[in-house]
Amino acid sequence: MAEQLVRNKYVGQFRAVGPFELRAMIDRILDHYDKWSEGDQRQLASCLDFIEKICFALSIPLAETAYALYVLRDGIQAGLSSDMENDNAEAIRQVNSFFEGLFRDLLRRY
């Protein structure tokens, strides 16, 4: 997913982030998602705090941050959708719910 972000023309500032650092950021977001999907609703706010701090420190604009989250969400959905052996409808719904919460709250804070 890090490669998808780097290749995307709408997230220019993320190209300045090294691949190791970008993968670590994505892994942290996914860790927050995993805990949230297991029932820890506080993880949404914790994830948002993490994203805001990182993007502020790296001077990544809000629009690019939101777009990067869409790219990440779409990548997760594509991976779940390509798994033909399992019915991942509930997992996809959870991914959508988590990321929609991030988008909504990120934009509300600004």
- Reply yes or no on whether the pLDDT at 1 is more than 80: no
Q: Distance between CA atoms of 47 and 12, rounded to whole angstroms?
A: 22
Domain boundaries, the chain: 2-108
CB atoms within 10 A of CB 18: 9
Q: State the pTM of this model.
A: 0.88
pLDDT 10s digits, 43-92: 999 999 999 999 899 898 888 899 899 999 999 998 888 876 677 888 99
Residue 101 has pLDDT above 90, yes or no: yes
Cα–Cα dist 13/90, whole Å: 33
